[in-house]
Structure 1
Amino acid sequence: MKTWKRLALLALPAVVALSGGCAVISEDECQAGLWYERGIEDGARGRSQATVYQIAQKCHEYGVRTDTEAWLRGHEEGVEQYCTPENGFVVGRRGSNYEGVCTGPTADLFLVNYQNGLAVYQAEQQYIALERRYYEAEREVHRVENALEEAETKEEAKSLRSQRRSLLREMRHLEAEMMRFGGFGAFNPFLFY
């Protein structure tokens, strides 16, 4: 086994202990024992090598011994499938976390594309938040206008008109912000890569 793999394997239990988390494998999957295949699957999903220790711990609870070496061989193959530039963009675009599994010459290309995809994802999330606030302000304007029709005093009417002006000003500001993302109701992902 290569030195870097041994070092990674020694450091992984600490990472697992700190990460806690949910069940990564069912009892049936432990019993099936398809460790190489499971390694390919986990690697192709971009899961770190720490995953094998979570699996081993869970399977130990079920009384099943994990073939860590077979899992690691499969994981290495799966990581090769995962660490493509195209997949880097897809992973980032979904807003998924990158666990740093890519190494070698493909790592840089994967990471650049991941960051590009993540930039688009983050911009879209900002746009969605702006749009959501716009619709909230619009609903509030309608509520204020209805209350204005039923206002009983001049002071109440004055206060409601002031609220309406403030909300309409906010809506114009939100519309201007949304234009940076392609326009109102038209998020344009091509502006962000």
Structure 2
Amino acid sequence: MVGIRIWLCLSIGLLWGCSNTTEQLVRDGDWYQVGYRDGISGKLSRPWGELQQLGAVRQSDYDEGYLEGLDEYCNPDFAYQIGLSGQEYFGACAGTPQGQRFRLEWQRGHQDFRMTY
């Protein structure tokens, strides 16, 4: 059930974008959501200096959200579909318990994507 929720969240996010921009979330002080969106998108964690340029950063909130989003993103059961969609992978899952399996599944999907297009 959680897996379906993750896949739907990724799909909806890719199709329609996010309802709030990062700038709006920063104005609202929702650093948890900024981090979560970075993590669930497979982005590398933003350096403190970059976050500070956005506004009065609450690093612990950002980190907490990022780790939760990254945990959901790094699910190897969805890595093939992420690769097959053409989405790039920048190594965000490296060092996580499922990181190696995620990378291999993403690579397999991305290879199929390249063969199709």
Could you say what the CA RMSD is over the residues aligned between the two structures, in angstroms?
1.9
Which 4+ stretches in 1 moved above 2 angstroms?
50-56
* 1:78 maps to which of 69, 73, 86: 69
Structure 2 CA distance for partners of 1:40 and 1:107, relative to 1, 3 Å: same
Counterparts in 2 of 1:29 and 1:104: CA distance versus 1, 3 Å: closer
Larger radius of gyration: 1
Relative to structure 1, the CA distance from residue 52 to residue 78 in structure 2 (aligned partners, 3 Å threshold; closer, same or farther) is farther
1:112 and 2:112 are equivalent in the alignment = no
Aligned residues: 96
Q: Which of these residues, 79, 84, 92, is aligned with residue 88 of structure 1?
A: 79
Which stretches in structure 1 are left out of the alignment for 5+ residues?
1-23, 126-193
Q: Compared with structure 1, are the counterparts of its residues 104 and 119 closer, same or farther at alpha carbon in structure 2 (3 Å cutoff)?
A: same
In the superposition, the TM-score normalised over structure 1's length comes to 0.45
Question: In the alignment, is residue 97 of structure 1 matched against residue 88 of structure 2?
Answer: yes
Q: What residue ranges of structure 2 are gaps of 5+ in the alignment?
A: 1-20
Counterpart of 2:58 in structure 1 is: 67
Aligned partners of 1:88, 1:54: CA distance in 2, in Å? 28
CA contact (8 A) 1:84 1:106 kept: yes
Identity over aligned pairs, percent: 24
Aligned-pair CA distance for 1:110? 0.4
Question: Is the CA contact 1:40–1:79 (under 8 Å) kept in the aligned structure 2?
Answer: yes
Distance 1:121 1:97 in 2: 11
Give the structure 1 partner of residue 41 of structure 2: 45
The CA distance in 1 between the partners of 2:109 and 2:52, in whole Å, is 33
One-letter amino acid matched to 1:106:
Q
Give the counterpart letter for 1:25 in structure 2. Answer: T
Q: What is the CA distance between 1:105 and its match in structure 2? A: 2.6
For 2:77, give the aligned amino acid.
Answer: E
Higher relative contact order by CA 8 Å / sep ≥ 6: 1 or 2?
2
- Mapped partners of 2:48, 2:22: distance in 1: 10
Q: Does the 8 A contact of 2:84 with 2:110 survive in 1?
A: yes
Quote how far apart the aligned CAs of 1:98 are.
0.9
